[in-house]
Structure 1
Amino acid sequence: MTTTQARPGTIGGPEQVLTDDEITRFVREQLDARDLDGRSVLLLIPDGTRSCPLPLLLSAVHRALAGRATRLTALVALGTHAPMSEAHLATMLGYPEGRIQDQYPGMTVLNHEWWDPDTFVSLGTIPSSRIAELSEGRLDTGVDVRLNRAVVEHDVAIVVGPVFPHEVVGFSGGNKYFFPGVAGPAIIDLSHWLGALITSSEIIGTRGITPVRALINEAAAMIPSQKLALCVVAQSGTGALHAASFGDTESAWGAAADIAAQTHVKYLDTPVTRVLSIIPEKYEDIWTGAKGFYKLEPVVADGGEVILYAPHITTISEMHPEIYEIGYHCRDYFVKQWDTFKDVHWGVLAHSTHLRGAGTWDAEHGEHDRVRVTLATGIPEHVVVKANLGYRDPASIDVAAFEADGETFVVPNAGEVLYRLR
């Protein structure tokens, strides 16, 4: 079922912080106005790497749909992140461990089991000619659009989650919860590699319909279920909300992204030579903690350094072991040696380029990266060096000394706010 786009309902703004009552009332009003009686509803929700008051939002949605929806399911849009344990789900969603029915009676919560081929159903294909058009000539391969079958097995799919600047698509949220959130590997690889070809520093924080967003929207248009979204703009570091928008997945996302562009992008007047990016514990590996680099790369001077400080992180990625084999390299390292790397998952290649940042490679001179990336984590030095990154003992990091040295830009709670030069 498709719907005609209309102006989304929006509450709040960049200078506001909403109260719980305002949010709950807004959710109730928006859902009361929708024809959801007697229909099955799937809620697509973020995993623990995204900040937002999810217990408040999910409780408000649950109360508004209780007695109306014939079936209510929440699906964690993992993309290719690690699955969430029951303990993590209980903490994230605000219910006693093992007792979800106490907080959300009648609702089922599922991880997106992206590692299991039986998870998916095919919606059809996007032909190579259309991919070439959407990618502005960067790619010309067709793709099988596979999606978690739970989406098509419900009448209505409602995205519930935050919008942030994003290294692949420009701004996260909206239809991104379907692709790559609960999508099959082929379109995940394609969308991420398209973003990598554009480069993270170029696309991150770009408003409007980027080529990757256009691809995502094209795939989402193939979904037979009705698609709605509750897109929110979180106050970074607190979990409170600046704003919320409800409507179809494109217009609600657009309204929230316009606000996030004002709250989650900060500007510096001059480049910095060194950044100490302090990675919060919600990022449990470098695969997710790398956001502390993506959001800072644009303000680092040529030859500068970003130190990712995360003593709690002890692994690069358990879910993507290929990254240990290829290491971290700039885009051109892969593009100009494509025959060597074309069979590696393109999403892994994309992640590699995103963390290594801008650079060049040619057969004569090798690789030259614009900035240095140093890990001060619990990952052993030999693993870090093999991955083509710099190593620093996390015990040697004195945050107060860095703050006082006059040369280091120290960023606490890194990973959500994007920094750019004016």
Structure 2
Amino acid sequence: MKVKYYDFAEAMIPDERIKAILEPPHGQQINRETFERDLHRLLEEKLASKLSGVKNLLILVDDITRQTPTSWILPIVLDHVARFGIPREKVDILVATGTHRPMSLKEQIEKYGESIVNTVNIKFHDYKNDVVNIGNTRSGIPVMVNKLVLEHDFIMGVGSVIPHRVAGFSGGGKIVQPGISGEKTTGLTHWLSAKYEGREILGKADNPVRKEIEEIAEFAGLDFIINVVPDSHGNPVKVFAGEPKPTFYEAAQFSREYFSVKSTKSKIVITDSFPADLELWQAAKGVYSGDLVLDEGGALILVTPCPEGVGVEFGNLVQRYGYKGYEDVKELVESGELDNLIVAAHLVHVGRVIKDKGVGIILSPGIEAEVAKKIGFIPANNLKEALDIAESLVGEDDIILCKCGGELLPIVD
């Protein structure tokens, strides 16, 4: 059969070599009218009683790297809170960029809607300069968050819930950590996640990192969340709203059931990064899902566009150190050579797969061959070449194809 990824990668693979084709379900999304009706109902049931006496509202929203239908949500929220005496001039929107770059005006309009951009005060989180320390978690992680949380008496988070390597799932308190947190806080939670294999975190709502995230969010005063489970193309499947913790766990359970695909393992796995395609820092999500079905000693082929290269914020550090296994990165951290724990964790998350477990082959028009080699991947010019390389390293094994790898959750019995 002809196997195709994006518009730059295709190859003919004999049917008998394809062990499985894994992809999230499609076609279960709800239309805008149904979505808005459901959200109106949830806000009437769960938000109205909480708005009494609120004078200043802070809404935390995710950025262009997430597919939350925020432009559908914000007008409903603003109309709803206005009925309780909170006009738009008393509402601030803080984009929870975490460590990502700010968005262009065009991206803001696409993500939030032109009327929102023109009428509501939108600010971008700066994880280096805009944070204050408001305490420590029970385990000792400092809670450094955007100072705007101290200037508002009600904080709402808007995001989506999909499988995530660091936190188990996105959504919930993740809009605070790392969304509006400082570098030290984010570094420590991410480094904690690096101590665990991907299969111990990805797609599991109850994990050690999530416990820290939710405690940090509670510390910061997150009062209410609106979380959406979207399909892999960003179309909403279901919306949840209410108290942060129980609402998140309800959404995560639904998300796990929705994105899970049963599978076996193979020595050769081909995966893409869709929809996390902008840069390799995000595109690594395809590696994380592919890891779950990759046999020890296997070869993982990542197909990804990466128009912004390795990474806008930390790409230079990734290129300096390259992806490495856990013990190698741990040595760099403990020696003091690498003090950025956010980067250290990322190096491990990928390195566990393409160094400790097997090899990584990359096919990407946005990553030059020399850069790919420098960071620990084997570059390929086309999909056939990538397969030839994989077979030369691990033999002509059956092949598992992963589609929409940035959100896929393979479940191996």
Which of 42, 51, 67 is the equivalent residue of 1:36?
A: 51
Displacement after TM superposition at 1:28 (Å)? 2.3
CA shift, 1:277, in A, is 1.8
- The answer to whether structure 1 residue 352 and structure 2 residue 352 are counterparts is no
Matched, 1:215 2:205: no
Count of residue correspondences: 372
Measure how far apart 1:245 and its partner are. Answer: 1.4
Aligned to 2:242: 247
Checking the alignment, whether the CA contact within 8 Å between 1:75 and 1:111 is kept in structure 2 is: yes
CA contact (8 A) 2:271 2:300 kept: yes
- 1:137-176 matched pairs, under 5 angstroms: 142-176=140-174
Report SS of the residue matched to 1:369: helix
Gap runs ≥5 in structure 1: 1-13, 96-101, 132-141, 360-367
Q: Deviations over 1:112-160 (max 9, x none)?
A: 1223x2x11221234xxx32xxxxxxxxxx4321101122211111111
Q: Give the letter aligned to residue 48 of structure 1.
A: I
Shift in Å, 1:241? 2.0
Provide the residue aligned with 2:122 in structure 1.
109
Q: TM-score, normalised by structure 2?
A: 0.83
| CA pair 342-257 structure 1, distance change in 2 beyond 3 A | farther
Q: Following the alignment from structure 2 to structure 1, what is the Cα–Cα distance between the partners of residues 356 and 182?
A: 32
Partners in 2 of 1:380 and 1:201 — Cα distance? 30
1:199 maps to which of 197, 201, 205: 197
Shift of 1:350: 0.5
Task: Tell me the amino acid that sits aligned with residue 198 of structure 2.
Answer: S
Whichever residue aligns with residue 408 of structure 2, its letter is: V
What is the percent sequence identity of the aligned residues? 26
Q: Deviations over 1:345-384 (max 9, x none)?
A: 111010011112258xxxxxxxx62121122112111111
What corresponds to 1:280 in structure 2? 274
For the pair 1:325 / 2:340, whether they are aligned, the reply is no
Letter in 2 for 1:206: K
Aligned-pair distance for 1:16? 5.4
Per-residue CA deviations over 1:283-326 (Å, capped at 9, x if unaligned) read 31100111111111010112222222123435211211222211
Aligned equivalents of 1:50 and 1:187: distance in 2?
Answer: 21
Change (3 A) 1:312 1:143: closer
Q: Tell which has more relative contact order, 1 or 2 (C-alpha 8 A, sep 6+).
A: 2
Once the two structures are superposed, the pairs formed by residues 289-368 of structure 1 within 5 Å of their partners are: 289-320=283-314, 321-336=316-331, 338-341=333-336, 343-358=338-353
Where does the alignment leave 5 or more consecutive residues of structure 2 unmatched? Answer: 1-25, 391-395
CA drift at 1:416 = 0.9
- Per mean C-alpha deviation after superposition, the further-off stretch among 61-70 and 377-386 is 61-70
Secondary structure of residue in 2 paired with 1:58: helix
Looking at structure 1, the residues matched to 235 and 76 of structure 2 have their Cα atoms a distance apart, in angstroms, of 15
Q: What is the aligned counterpart of 2:102 among 83, 93, 104?
A: 83
Secondary structure, aligned partner of 2:58: strand
TM-score norm. by structure 1 comes to 0.81
Whole-angstrom distance in 2 between the partners of 1:192 and 1:144: 13
CA distance in 2, matches of 1:217, 1:31: 22
- Identify, as 1 or 2, the structure richer in helix: 2
Deviation at 1:22, TM superposition (A): 2.6
8 Å CA contact 1:309, 1:394 repeated in 2: no
Determine the structure 2 residue equivalent to 1:183.
181
Q: Which amino acid aligns with 1:164?
A: I
Contact 1:121 1:148 (C-alpha < 8 Å) held by counterparts:
yes
